[in-house]
Structure formats: structure tokens, C-alpha cells
């Protein structure tokens, strides 16, 4: 006998309708292969006027789309290296501080 009256027994939910919201099942096979095929092509994007494509796991500028000069690239590489060194130094400091705390 239950302590607080009747036991909890929820109503069963009615089964869902299995109607598809997509109309792709109405298309013939060749059209479905075109719509859902596996050949997507190379991913490309456009950032600040530069066209980039994804090849071999890296984003590569498409030929002729880079408008910068060599000095700009060297300056950016030097700045990138400085930031990486600063980041490594800050990580080292955080590690030392965490060791001192624990």
C-alpha cells in the first residue's frame, strides 16, 4: 500500500507521425545524387579581398590573389614570432605561479 495515496502512472504518449519534412524523397535518383552527393569540391572563402582555399589541411591563398608585398609579410612574420615568444613566457609564468600556489 502506498504511503501517500495512489502511485504515479503517467499517460502514454501517442506515437509520432513519421512524415518527412523534406521533399528530397520525391526526387528521382540522379537528382538526389546531385543534391546529396559526396563531391563537395574544395572549400573556399574570401577574407578582406583575399581568396583562400583549403588544401592538404591548410588554408592557402589562391594564385594571384595576394596583394601584399614582401616587406609586409616579413613584418607580419616578425610580429607573429614576437607574440609567440611572449605567449610562451606568459605560460611559463603561469605555470610557476601555479606551482607556488600548490
Burial class (CB in 10 A: 0-12, 13-18, 19+), 52: middle
Measured between alpha carbons, how far is 67 from 50 in angstroms, rounded to an integer? 8
DSSP state of 40: -
Residue with cell 519534412: 21
> Hey, what's the torsion of the CAs at 69, 71, 75, 77, to 10 degrees?
70
pLDDT tens digits, 36-48: 776 667 788 888 7
Q: Which residue did the predictor score with more confidence, 68 or 58?
A: 58
The pLDDT score that the predictor gives to residue 24 is: 66
Query: Is residue 87 helix, strand or coil?
Result: helix
- Comparing 39 with 72, the larger pLDDT belongs to 72
Burial class (CB in 10 A: 0-12, 13-18, 19+), 3: exposed
**pLDDT tens sequence across 19-40:** 666 666 677 777 777 777 766 6
Amino acid at each position: 500500500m502506498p504511503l501517500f495515496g495512489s502511485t504515479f502512472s503517467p499517460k502514454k504518449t501517442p506515437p509520432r507521425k513519421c512524415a518527412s519534412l523534406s521533399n528530397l524523397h520525391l526526387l528521382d535518383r540522379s537528382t538526389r545524387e546531385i543534391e546529396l552527393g559526396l563531391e563537395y569540391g574544395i572549400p573556399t572563402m574570401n577574407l578582406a579581398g583575399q581568396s583562400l582555399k583549403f588544401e592538404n589541411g591548410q588554408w592557402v591563398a589562391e594564385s594571384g590573389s595576394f596583394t601584399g608585398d614582401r616587406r609586409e609579410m616579413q613584418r607580419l612574420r616578425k610580429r607573429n614570432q614576437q607574440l609567440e615568444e611572449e605567449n610562451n613566457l606568459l605560460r611559463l609564468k603561469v605555470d610557476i605561479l601555479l606551482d607556488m600556489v600548490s
